């Protein structure tokens, strides 16, 4: 089944403790992206990747890192999480091109105390 | 980046048509118009997309204005399962990295009454 898989689905952690949210897709998509969703603010793009070893900033990249060493994986790294990064995070992927629909994962809810 | 504007919320009755508007006055000639919806407690899902001509699929229809500065997502017969947040976004196709950076906005909350 074609899917985008995020792990973990839920995480409660403390300020400053490094964490990684993994994202994996099995559709051979070149493009992958991370979003966060906060009440009243909709979906905001954090980082995106056009292909392996190619990443770029979205609208809200501060406090996050990403890497794209393999085509299927696009982990989101919070080196020193802070409470303002408490949010619902979504990973998405698509083939390259403006006419390509994105496929989203089920989301990861992060709570940083 | 080209932005879109949608009403915060709309309401409909079950089995009636719903027209969800989106304004994108700064759209460029190579931007595709995409619609997604997000059901409660789920990730967004793709609904439909188009460039210039109107489009139909099993989920909905997309009507695009002749000047492309606005579009309308049409749900022909709303059901309770269509209650969701609907997002209209633009995705570039001019080559290079124009399709990478995406702005979703807050979307339209659709309430469907039985």
Q: What is the pLDDT of residues B4-58, one digit of tens each?
A: 999 999 999 999 999 999 999 989 888 999 999 999 889 999 999 999 999 999 9
Among B38, B102, B106, pick the best mutation site for testing chain A contact (most A Cβ within 10 A).
Answer: B102
> Which two tokens mark A83?
């409470």
Among A3, A43, A61, pick the best mutation site for testing chain B contact (most B Cβ within 10 A).
Answer: A43
Contact assignment for B107 to A42 by CB distance below 8 Å: yes
Asked if A99 reaches chain B (Cβ–Cβ under 8 Å), the answer is yes
Contact assignment for B36 to A102 by CB distance below 8 Å: yes
Contact assignment for B44 to A59 by CB distance below 8 Å: no
Using CA atoms, how far residue B94 sits from B50, B98, B103, in Å, is 15, 6, 17
Contact assignment for A35 to B106 by CB distance below 8 Å: no
Taking CA–CA distances from B98, the nearest residue in chain A reads A98
Residue with tokens 């992927």: A93
Residue with tokens 């949210």: A21
Query: Which three-class secondary structure state does DSSP give residue B100?
Result: coil
d(CA B3, CA B89): 7
Cα angle, residue B36 at apex, residues B107 and A39 outer, rounded to 5°: 40
> Of A109-113, B85-89, B100-104, which range is least confident?
B100-104
**Rg (Cα) of chain A, in Å, rounded?**
13
Q: Give the pLDDT score at B89.
A: 94
Among A89, A101, A105, A107, pick the best mutation site for testing chain B contact (most B Cβ within 10 A).
Answer: A101
> Which two tokens mark A76?
């989101």
pLDDT above 80: residue A90: yes
Contact assignment for A50 to B100 by CB distance below 8 Å: yes
pLDDT above 60: residue B1: no
Cα angle, residue B52 at apex, residues B48 and B57 outer, rounded to 5°: 30
Residue with tokens 């897709």: A25
Asked if B7 reaches chain A (Cβ–Cβ under 8 Å), the answer is no
Asked if A50 reaches chain B (Cβ–Cβ under 8 Å), the answer is yes
Question: Which string of DSSP letters, residue by residue, matches B4-39?
Answer: -B--SEEEEETTS-EEEEEE-TT--TTPEEEEEEE-
DSSP 3-state percent helix, strand, coil across chain B (nearest 5): 5, 45, 50
> Which two tokens mark A39?
């009440």
pLDDT above 70: residue B97: no
Q: Give the pLDDT score at B114.
A: 95
d(CA B37, CA B45): 5
Taking CA–CA distances from A48, the nearest residue in chain B reads B100
The closest CB to that of A45, out of B94, B98, B102, belongs to B102
In total, the C-beta contacts within 8 angstroms joining chain A to chain B are 70
Report the b/e string of A45-74 with b at 16+ CB within 10 A.
bbbbbbeeeebeebbbbeebebebeeebbb
Q: What φ, ψ does residue B81 adopt, rounded to 5°? A: -75, -10
Query: What pLDDT, in 10s, does the model give residues A27-84?
Result: 999 999 999 999 888 899 999 999 999 999 999 999 999 999 999 999 999 999 999 9
Residues B80-105 have a mean pLDDT of 86
């Amino acid at each position: 089944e074609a899917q985008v898989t995020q792990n973990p689905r839920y995480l409660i952690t403390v300020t400053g403790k490094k964490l990684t949210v993994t994202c994996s897709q099995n559709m051979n998509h070149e493009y992958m992206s991370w979003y966060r969703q906060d009440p009243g603010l909709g979906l905001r793009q954090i980082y995106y990747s056009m292909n392996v070893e190619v990443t770029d900033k979205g609208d809200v990249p501060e406090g996050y890192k990403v890497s794209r060493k393999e085509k299927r994986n696009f982990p989101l790294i919070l080196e020193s999480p802070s409470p303002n990064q408490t949010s619902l995070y979504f990973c998405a992927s698509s083939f390259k091109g403006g006419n390509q629909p994105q496929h989203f994962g089920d989301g990861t809810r992060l709570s940083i105390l | 980046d080209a932005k879109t504007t949608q009403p915060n919320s709309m309401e409909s009755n079950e089995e009636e048509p719903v027209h969800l508007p989106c304004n994108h006055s700064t759209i460029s000639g190579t931007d595709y118009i995409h619609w997604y919806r997000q059901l409660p407690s789920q990730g967004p899902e793709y609904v439909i997309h188009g460039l210039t001509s109107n489009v139909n699929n099993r989920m909905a229809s997309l009507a695009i204005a002749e000047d492309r500065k606005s579009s309308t997502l049409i749900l022909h017969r709303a059901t309770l399962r269509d209650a969701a947040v609907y997002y209209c976004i633009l995705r570039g196709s001019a080559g290079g990295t124009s399709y990478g950076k995406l702005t979703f906005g807050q979307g339209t909350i659709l309430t469907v009454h039985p």
